[in-house]
Amino acid sequence: MSGNIELLNTTLAATRAADRAALIAYLPAGFPTVDGGIEAVKAVIAGGADIVEIGLPHSDPVLDGPVIQTADDIALRGGVRIADVMRTVREAYEATGVPILVMTYWNPIDRYGVERFTAELAEAGGAGCILPDLPVQESALWREHAEKHGLATVFVVAPSSQDARLATITAAGSGFVYAASLMGVTGTRASVGAQAQDLVGRTRATTDLPVCVGLGVSNAAQAAEVAGFADGVIVGSAFVKAMLDAPDEAAGLAAVRSLAGELAEGVRKR
């Protein structure tokens, strides 16, 4: 079975044709439980998310701040496995028809096996993977199998990336480019900053791929600001925090659905 890179491409093309940015939500698999995590994905999509990233919980999440680390720890202590990540992708995709990607560090894929991981992700209906710590120059094996299985390979660029490096990264990627809005880890911020707009402009000079911005966006005003210059707005920590702060799972689902609605309105107001 082929993965859903074309669904991802057509979704991003449709939001661009509608003259707006896509809202991309991130939630970790297995948080607060595997079943609860699947319901949370459905909730953010019901609220207005166009695309969802499913995080593969990791014991050493170097890009993630304390909010996502806390959720990852809950998932790992609950016994989450890669099979649960695949189940989350499958059930979320089958229920909604929305492009679902996995965001993961490289080590779990390397241990699991690249061919096995890509084949299972495609079979689950996944659209691709975001790989924040896989160097482009070491990515040939992954890209070969991802392309074979119809999966996007999304690389992360940062404000520190030089123009020549940006060109190398974007030439190897597919689906979209994940532009980290600032140097540092994930988390909500009071301001997204001018660095992100500069990075988007420099990245666009190297590629026709959509450029989507993550790290720091937590409310409708920030979403609208980023949507003014980016093709997609990626929000993770704010959704996870809403779940963590809720008194129970039902309240958490209502909170993430409501937040998704506010953010979806924000990306349409750019």
List, by residue number, the catalytic residues: 53, 64
Q: How would you label 76-98 residue by residue, b for 16+ Cβ within 10 Å and e otherwise?
A: bebebbbebbbbbbbbbbeebeb
The residues, ordered by sequence, that sit 6+ positions from 249 with a Cβ below 8 Å of its Cβ are 32, 36, 39
Q: Are 28 and 11 in contact (CB under 8 A)?
A: no
The residues, ordered by sequence, that sit 6+ positions from 255 with a Cβ below 8 Å of its Cβ are 242, 243, 245, 246
Q: What is the DSSP string of 80-123?
A: --HHHHHHHHHHHHHHH---EEEE--HHHHHHH-HHHHHHHHHH
